[in-house]
Amino acid sequence: MSKIIIFDTTLRDGEQSPGASLDPNEKLQIAKQLSTLNIDVMEAGFPITSEGDFKSVSAIAKEIRDVSICALARAVDKDIDCAAKALKSAKSPRIHVFLATSKIHRKFKLIKAKEEIIKTAVKGVKRAKKYVDDVEFSPEDASRTEPDFLVEVVEAVIGAGATTVNIPDTVGYAVPEHYAAIIKNLRDNVKNINDAVISVHCHNDLGLAVANSLAAIKAGATQVECTINGIGERAGNTSLEEIVMALKTRKDFFKHTTGIKTKEIIATSRIVSGLTGLRVQRNKAIVGENAFAHESGIHQDGVLKESTTYEIMKPEDVGLPKTNIVIGKHSGRHAFKKRVKALGYELPDEELEHTFNQFKLLADKKKEIYDQDIEALVQNEKSEVPNIYELDSLSINCGPVPTASIRLRVGKDKIVADSTKGDGPIDAIFKAIDLLTGIKGTLLDYNVRSITSGKDALGEASVDVEVEGNTYRGRAVSTDTIEASAKAYLNAINRVATKHRRKKST
């Protein structure tokens, strides 16, 4: 298999993302991680744009020795000279010269004829060649450049000494077949094309950056320019992690490889996200929080039996410790049982089924279920007493005179209801329960705590209630702390009622 050169432009095009800005120390930190990731070429910046960018490129060129360090420059003498100066300490320097070639850029931005474009491009490459052996040239907006003129430009810059010709889809205009045809046209019609590497640089305005880059590889491109997390101008650039893992996972189709140490992908993604402040969307391929997460019961069952049923990549390959089985409303019994067991609990089938049903009710109320939620449900199940009285509905009025209206289910068919006033909503609830059950309790202790975080957190209420000289403890959990309080008090009263029934039966 032939190797695809991975050219990373996170520190140049990636930093141009609106909202992203890195100081020299942050750039160097990312550069070190990119070196660990084992990329081939690192575009460290655009030195002419600012003193900070110049210093960043210089520092990276001096510090990073095992990667080719590249600096961007317009086809302008001062840009090229500045890039060369910034790269002075680099072990393997590359100057990347660019000049727009499309009709729309020639007419409105550069106001230059075709002949002048070719002359300027050749001059720029020759000037860069005086400083370094490795020169890359990009005809900006190549995907919208007339095919015949693009052939002329590419042939001319290779003749001038360019060792890499990069074909940018600058505004994300191309589609895979169109972009592949551009690469094929160059391979077929540029006489000296074999004297240079064909590179591709795609933007994601139509969400096709990765697809276009892969199509270009099939058509003969051997370098891909990309960024970590796909960051970049507007909708971003080709995502490094997606390109690399597509080539790795579908090597049967692409028949190419890279030198990337894929187990460093997650670490690199998180460093870039943290320093740029650009968060990765949850469903982002490869590095998103959900990329190796499964909530559907059918999917969880399959993955737990054989990971390849629903995973085409191993999470370990990109630096994740394991698959994330998300316990939520779509989870099945198999995944729930496995998680309960992993938490150290063994439940009989009947208890497991009841706990699973309670879990489903909870999952309908909150987006994410934490291990602490499951533990609370299990512990609640284990402390469960026969429900002689069961809460059917509850409403409270917190006006000047707090009132609680409660309906209790007694046995399978009987419903009792009443309303009572109290010193507060909780006091009114407890008094209403006393009235409906006929059991008068004295509240000794009452506590409510949040089991998990977030506004939909599961709350646990616990009470100590004295009845006839004996103390009974009750507890319950719910996303509604008022409901948890009512159920906890009712749990204690059920213990009293159960004790009374046992006495009568003897």
Query: Binding site: what residues are annotated?
Result: 13, 201, 203, 237
Provide the token pair at 417. 């209801």
The CA distance from 2 to 320, in Å, is 27
**Which residues, at least 6 apart from 34, have a Cβ–Cβ distance to it below 8 Å?**
8, 10, 11, 42, 67, 228, 268
Residue 472's DSSP bridge partners are: 465
The CA distance from 413 to 159, in Å, is 92
CA 246 centroid distance within chain: 17
Conformational region of residue 288, where left means phi above 0, alpha means psi within -120 to 50, and beta covers everything else: beta
Residue 68's DSSP bridge partners are: 41
**Which residues, at least 6 apart from 222, have a Cβ–Cβ distance to it below 8 Å?**
2, 3, 4, 5, 197, 198, 199
Beta strand 256-257 with 223-226 is unpaired
| Nearest partner of 269 among 230, 324, 224, judged by Cα | 230
Name the residue type at position 278: L
Q: What letter does residue 106 receive in the DSSP assignment?
A: I
Binding annotation for Mn(2+): 13, 201, 203, 237
Beta-carbon neighbour count of residue 345 at 10 Å?
18
What 3-state DSSP class applies to 66?
coil
| Nearest partner of 269 among 288, 251, 255, judged by Cα | 288
